[in-house]
């Protein structure tokens, strides 16, 4: 058996979002040797998208991998199926139906390709390079425009029988609660704990409290960031927005803990910038809803990965898993 | 390596309940060669309990295992810890604190002993001898006096970092809902979907509907069985009791599906005798709360194991897993 020189191995990590697609060449230490991005939504068909990806990435490979070995490609994408290497009926992408994306990438780049959804990729990134190093049982919750999740049990990501496990953002935290703007479900975690959910809560609450600083902003400027600014200035309504959000999140986390009993829950994404405003009520309501046997055991941890690079790192971690 | 004659192998399966403890010698085909039971709650200390177990089981071993090999002992018990072989702070047992039960059994019987909670054992029993043969991803829900669960992902039971994963009966399905008689939590699945929960619902509903047949019974005779009898006779209130229970159960199952994406959910226990009265609303509300990507994929299956023997079979399956 030939010895493998880890320092010579490189993975291509690609994160496909609804608007932008980011990519990077990553080594075993989680260093990004080169990176870039293209628009996702300008390509009506997926072949053209892959062509543009190739034209942008090939020069980076030539430049940075002459003395190294590109081992493979990892892709994080919405509705990606880990087992089949497909993107299936992704509501926020233009390519409809079932896209055999991994196969098409392998054909174009001549390298093996693995895929999973973006939150699963983020969880792998945390295992490989981040706060979950050495952990075997944890849950990753990404709190951004939406709420995603990656669940690791016994050191392995949970994919379920069909490759779609871990849609915790869509679990119902309040039956007959807030209607989701896209799925139509009522009372999902995402409807409350995403950045979108926070801005809905803030708009409702500022209408109830005319004295709130939140009323100094135009409707379109009400978002997690501006609510945070008001909370920092001591606005009770803004603080209540995060308290309410944290309550819903904490109640959901308690249910997740009683499912898989993780040692930690990792929180990631724009929403966590609110810090203790959201973390403290989240922890309170998580603990309050847990059976005693689970209490004061589960750490709530903020991700250590740089938000701008986490998606690329996570996708690249799929390659090392191969 | 010596060949193993499977037909000669026997496992001792023990199921410890709050009142009774059942045990049986089980072969690889799931046939119970001999069985018996003793009282659990007459023994203030666990040593006496194990002594009585041994006095009852030893003669069975001598009689049935003279030409066979007793491979080990599997125990299903409340609050059993799979990793540590302990029973920890079980609220419905007299033995307080952390009991090193597996170690004590091995000392007494001279055989290796593994433990898990009763619902996990039931899930193993279904894999080995029941409706889950060949399944790699499923969730077992036991609907009895309480609600228990065993979660299998990728062919393995989920134990979590501490051995206590899978307490789905205690997940909250209705925030600030019905107070649990024992844990004090508000709105747990067990508070609605257990036999105890059903009788609470029935007592509330019969008070609201004076015409209901349920009013012909004495307070202490209102239970899942009598409600079922009234439902069979067409009593709308009794039917509504199961519909409401099924709704709460279905909403909970939808959340579980979006967690681990199982191919099936196995239902087991006294409550399922209500058949379609509970199954149909359960399925309806499960499907209604699922993301489209999960709909019409998950089978709801009733257990195939005989209820009287399932606990022993499940516990014995721990031995074959060793």
- Mind listing the pLDDT tens digit for each residue in A29-40? 899 999 999 999
pTM (predicted TM-score): 0.92
pLDDT-based confidence at residue A304 (cuts at 50, 70, 90): confident
Percent of chain B scoring above 90 in pLDDT: 82
pLDDT-based confidence at residue B68 (cuts at 50, 70, 90): confident
Kindly state whether residues A79 and A114 are assigned to the same domain.
yes
* CA separation, residue B19 to residues A254, B45, B78 (Å): 30, 15, 12
Q: Which of B282, B215, B209 is nearest to B242 (CA)?
A: B282
- Cβ-Cβ contacts under 8 Å, A262 against chain B: 160-161
State the residue range of the domain holding A14.
6-127+308-321
**In angstroms, how far is CA B260 from the centroid of its own chain?**
19
pLDDT of residue B191: 98
Kindly state whether residues B144 and B248 are assigned to the same domain.
yes
- Tens digit of each residue's pLDDT (9 = 90 or more) over B140-151: 999 998 999 999
- Tens digit of each residue's pLDDT (9 = 90 or more) over B281-309: 999 999 999 999 899 999 999 998 887 78
Kindly state whether residues B59 and B147 are assigned to the same domain.
no
pLDDT of residue A6: 72
Put simply, whether B68 touches A (Cβ < 8 Å) is: no
Average pLDDT of the segment spanning A127-140:
94
Cα–Cα distance, A317 to A118 (Å, whole number): 12
Cα–Cα distance, A124 to A128 (Å, whole number): 6
Kindly state whether residues B189 and B53 are assigned to the same domain.
no
Indicate whether A1 belongs to any domain. Answer: no
Kindly state whether residues A195 and A298 are assigned to the same domain.
yes
Backbone φ, ψ for residue A230 (5° rounding): -65, -40
Average pLDDT of the segment spanning B175-204:
96
Indicate whether B94 belongs to any domain. Answer: yes
Q: Which residues contact A113 (CB under 8 A, 6 or more apart)?
A: A72, A73, A74, A75, A85, A101, A102, A103, A105, A106
Indicate whether B263 belongs to any domain. Answer: yes
Indicate whether B29 belongs to any domain. Answer: yes
Do B293 and A79 make contact, defined as CB atoms within 8 angstroms? Answer: yes
Given a cut of 60, whether residue B2 has pLDDT beyond it is no
Indicate whether B186 belongs to any domain. Answer: yes
Kindly state whether residues B155 and B112 are assigned to the same domain.
no
Kindly state whether residues A68 and A176 are assigned to the same domain.
no
pLDDT-based confidence at residue A149 (cuts at 50, 70, 90): very high
Indicate whether B278 belongs to any domain. Answer: yes
Percent of chain A scoring above 70 in pLDDT: 98
| CATH number of A83's domain | 3.30.420.40
3-state class percentages of chain B: helix first, strand second, coil last, to nearest 5: 45, 20, 35
Put simply, whether A141 touches B (Cβ < 8 Å) is: no
Given a cut of 70, whether residue A322 has pLDDT beyond it is no
Kindly state whether residues B237 and B184 are assigned to the same domain.
yes
Average pLDDT of the segment spanning A144-173:
94
- Tens digit of each residue's pLDDT (9 = 90 or more) over B30-46: 999 999 999 999 999 99
Given a cut of 60, whether residue A1 has pLDDT beyond it is no
pLDDT-based confidence at residue A306 (cuts at 50, 70, 90): confident
Put simply, whether B21 touches A (Cβ < 8 Å) is: no
Do A261 and B159 make contact, defined as CB atoms within 8 angstroms? Answer: yes
- Tens digit of each residue's pLDDT (9 = 90 or more) over A105-121: 999 999 999 999 989 99
Q: How far B94 CA sits from the closest chain A CA (Å)?
A: 17
Kindly state whether residues A220 and A313 are assigned to the same domain.
no
Put simply, whether A185 touches B (Cβ < 8 Å) is: yes
Residue in chain B closest to A167 (alpha carbons) equals: B258
Indicate whether A43 belongs to any domain. Answer: yes
- Cβ-Cβ contacts under 8 Å, B173 against chain A: 175
Kindly state whether residues A91 and A172 are assigned to the same domain.
no
Indicate whether B1 belongs to any domain. Answer: no
pLDDT of residue B156: 92
Domains of chain B: total: 2
**In angstroms, how far is CA B63 from the centroid of its own chain?**
30
pLDDT of residue B92: 80
Put simply, whether A190 touches B (Cβ < 8 Å) is: no
Nearest residue, CB atoms, A259 vs list B89, B168, B185: B168
Q: Give the pairing type, strands A32-39 and A86-88.
A: unpaired
Nearest residue, CB atoms, B136 vs list A161, A163, A297: A161
Question: What are the residues facing B74 on neighbouring strands?
Answer: B13, B114
pLDDT-based confidence at residue A62 (cuts at 50, 70, 90): very high
Q: How far A61 CA sits from the closest chain B CA (Å)?
A: 36
Do A289 and B172 make contact, defined as CB atoms within 8 angstroms? Answer: yes
Q: Give the pairing type, strands B156-157 and B147-153.
A: antiparallel
Q: Which residues contact B278 (CB under 8 A, 6 or more apart)?
A: B242, B245, B246, B249, B271, B272
Q: How far B257 CA sits from the closest chain A CA (Å)?
A: 8
Kindly state whether residues A164 and A273 are assigned to the same domain.
yes
Percent of chain B scoring above 70 in pLDDT: 98
- Tens digit of each residue's pLDDT (9 = 90 or more) over B76-114: 998 899 999 999 988 788 898 999 999 999 999 999 999
Cα–Cα distance, B66 to B83 (Å, whole number): 31
pLDDT-based confidence at residue B57 (cuts at 50, 70, 90): very high
* CA separation, residue A69 to residues A4, A14, A55, B279 (Å): 10, 17, 19, 55
Kindly state whether residues B203 and B267 are assigned to the same domain.
yes
Length of chain A: 322
Residue in chain B closest to A156 (alpha carbons) equals: B154
Average pLDDT of the segment spanning B234-253:
98
């Amino acid at each position: 058996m030939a010895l493998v020189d880890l320092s010579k191995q490189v993975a291509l990590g690609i994160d496909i979002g609804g608007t932008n697609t980011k990519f990077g060449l990553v080594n075993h230490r989680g260093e990004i040797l080169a990176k870039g991005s293209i628009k996702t939504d300008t390509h009506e068909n997926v072949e053209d998208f892959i062509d543009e990806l190739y034209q942008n990435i090939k020069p980076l490979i030539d430049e940075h991998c002459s003395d190294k070995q590109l081992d493979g490609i990892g892709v994080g994408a919405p509705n990606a199926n880990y087992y089949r290497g497909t993107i299936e009926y992704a509501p926020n992408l233009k390519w409809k139906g079932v896209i055999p994306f991994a196969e098409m990438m392998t054909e174009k780049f001549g390298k093996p390709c693995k895929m999973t959804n973006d939150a699963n990729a983020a969880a792998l990134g945390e295992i490989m390079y981040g706060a979950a190093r050495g952990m075997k049982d944890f849950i990753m919750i990404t709190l951004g425009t939406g709420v995603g999740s990656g669940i690791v049990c016994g050191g392995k990501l949970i994919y379920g029988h069909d490759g779609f496990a871990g849609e915790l953002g869509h679990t119902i935290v309040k039956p007959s609660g807030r209607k989701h703007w896209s799925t139509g479900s009522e009372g999902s975690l995402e409807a409350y704990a995403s950045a979108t959910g926070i801005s809905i809560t803030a708009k409702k609450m500022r209408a109830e409290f005319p004295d709130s600083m939140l009323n100094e902003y135009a409707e379109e400027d009400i978002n997690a960031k501006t609510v945070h600014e008001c909370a920092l200035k001591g606005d009770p309504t803004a603080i209540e927005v995060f308290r309410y959000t944290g309550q819903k999140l904490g109640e959901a986390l308690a249910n997740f803990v009683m499912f898989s009993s993780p040692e930690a829950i990792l929180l990631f994404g724009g929403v966590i910038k609110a810090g203790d405003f959201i973390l403290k009520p989240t922890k309170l309501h998580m603990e309050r809803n847990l059976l005693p046997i689970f209490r004061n055991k589960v750490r709530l941890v903020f991700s250590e990965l740089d938000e701008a690079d986490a998606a690329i790192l996570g996708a690249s971690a799929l390659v090392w898993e191969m």
